[in-house]
């Protein structure tokens, strides 16, 4: 049986790649300015990560009713996120192309983390997971036709989007706030030095420089070797703990 999104998305190791996905999202000027100008990022920098994880866990592991509830919540949050007339960059959080980019960064980061820890994916698994991850954007209303049909199409889409990424002073400040939080759960803040190491290791040299990230290839390689040796042997009660936590928190707000 090929790997499915449920096999991959519950893994706690994906948390180490979460900041990488968000920095890629922010490097799209429309996304970056929308987040900076319409969220309390300075005071609650980990909220976007929490919201993204909750959305992913609910649409993959929740009931149809729960998925509908989380989608409505996202739509409500996005309704007022748009630029003023004539502003540059122009943005609207309901833009399907921006939502597609966000979904694509989650898929691409998940694949990077999966392969770092478990080794290369087979062609069958890679294609199955690409098809499965379409749900991340399609659930929000992104037309299914926009999601790349195969890995070749995804690679072409990714190269095109990467060429349009820009990091300005505003986006850089948001990125630094994300990577150096002073609020949020203690366990997540304690994880941030490792997250910064992984983030720098997974970003392109151009984006590392744009975000002023230090990169130590030897430390990164050493961490990856340790993760690959230890993490796959851990029991699911540990590796799936964040998924259970965020689902439990989400469900508790329904009552």
The residue range of the domain holding 109 is 5-77+88-252
Coil, strand or helix at 46: coil
Model confidence band, residue 184 (pLDDT cutoffs 50, 70, 90): confident
Q: In this model, does residue 241 exceed pLDDT 70?
A: yes
User: Mean pLDDT across the stretch 131-150?
Assistant: 94
For position 42, what pLDDT does the model report?
A: 61
Residue 11 lies in a domain: yes
Q: How far is CA 227 from the centre of its chain?
A: 20
Please give the model's pTM, rounded to 2 decimal places: 0.94
Nearest residue to 99 via CA among 141, 50, 57: 141
% residues pLDDT > 90 (the chain):
76
Q: Residue 83: inside a domain, yes or no?
A: no
Q: Per-residue confidence at 48, pLDDT binned at 50, 70, 90?
A: confident
* Cβ-contact 240, 248 below 8 angstroms: no
Q: What value does the mean pLDDT of the chain take?
A: 92
Separation CA 104–CA 94 (nearest Å): 16
Q: 146: which DSSP letter?
A: G
Say if 82 falls within a structural domain: no
For residues 192-219, average pLDDT: 96
Distance CA 188, CA 196 (A): 12
* Out of 41-55, 98-112, 215-229, least confident range: 41-55
* 217 within domain boundaries: yes
Whether 238 shows a pLDDT value over 90: the answer reads yes
For 108-135, what is each residue's pLDDT tens digit? 999 999 999 999 999 999 999 999 999 9
CA dihedral over 41, 44, 49, 55, signed as positive or negative: negative
Q: How confident is the model at residue 43 (pLDDT cuts 50, 70, 90)?
A: low
Q: Is residue 29 part of a domain?
A: yes
Q: Work out how many domains the chain is built from and give that number.
A: 1
**How far apart (Å, rounded) are the C-alpha atoms in residues 179 and 99?**
23
pLDDT of residue 69: 95
CA angle 50, 194, 197 (to 5 degrees): 110
Is the N-terminal amide bond of 89 cis, ω within 30° of 0? yes
Q: 184-189 long-range CB contacts below 8 Å, 24 or more apart? A: 184/44, 184/45, 184/46, 184/50, 185/46, 188/15, 188/46, 188/49, 189/46
CB atoms within 10 A of CB 103: 23
- The pLDDT score that the predictor gives to residue 255 is 58
């Amino acid at each position: 049986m090929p790997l499915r999104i449920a096999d991959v998305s519950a893994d706690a190791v994906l948390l180490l790649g979460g900041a990488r996905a968000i920095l890629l999202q922010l490097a799209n000027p429309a996304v970056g300015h929308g987040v900076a100008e319409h969220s309390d990022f300075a005071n609650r920098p980990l909220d976007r990560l929490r919201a993204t994880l909750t959305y992913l866990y609910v649409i993959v592991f929740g009931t149809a009713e729960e998925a509908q509830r989380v989608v409505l919540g996202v739509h409500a949050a996005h309704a007022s996120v748009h630029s003023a007339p004539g502003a540059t960059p122009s943005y609207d959080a309901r833009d399907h192309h921006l939502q597609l980019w966000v979904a694509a960064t989650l898929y691409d980061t998940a694949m990077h983390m999966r392969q770092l820890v478990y080794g290369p994916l087979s062609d069958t698994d890679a294609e199955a997971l690409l098809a499965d991850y379409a749900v991340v954007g399609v659930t929000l209303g992104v037309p299914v036709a926009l999601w790349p049909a195969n890995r070749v199409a995804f690679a072409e889409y990714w190269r095109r989007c990467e060429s349009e990424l820009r990091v300005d002073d505003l986006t850089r400040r948001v990125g630094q706030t994300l990577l150096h939080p002073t609020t949020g759960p203690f366990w997540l803040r304690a994880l941030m030095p490792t997250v910064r190491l992984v983030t720098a290791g997974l970003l392109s040299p151009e984006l590392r420089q744009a975000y002023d990230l230090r990169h130590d290839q030897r430390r990164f390689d050493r961490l990856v070797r340790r993760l690959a040796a230890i993490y796959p042997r851990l029991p699911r009660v540990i590796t799936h703990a964040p998924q259970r936590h965020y689902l439990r928190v989400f469900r508790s707000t329904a009552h």
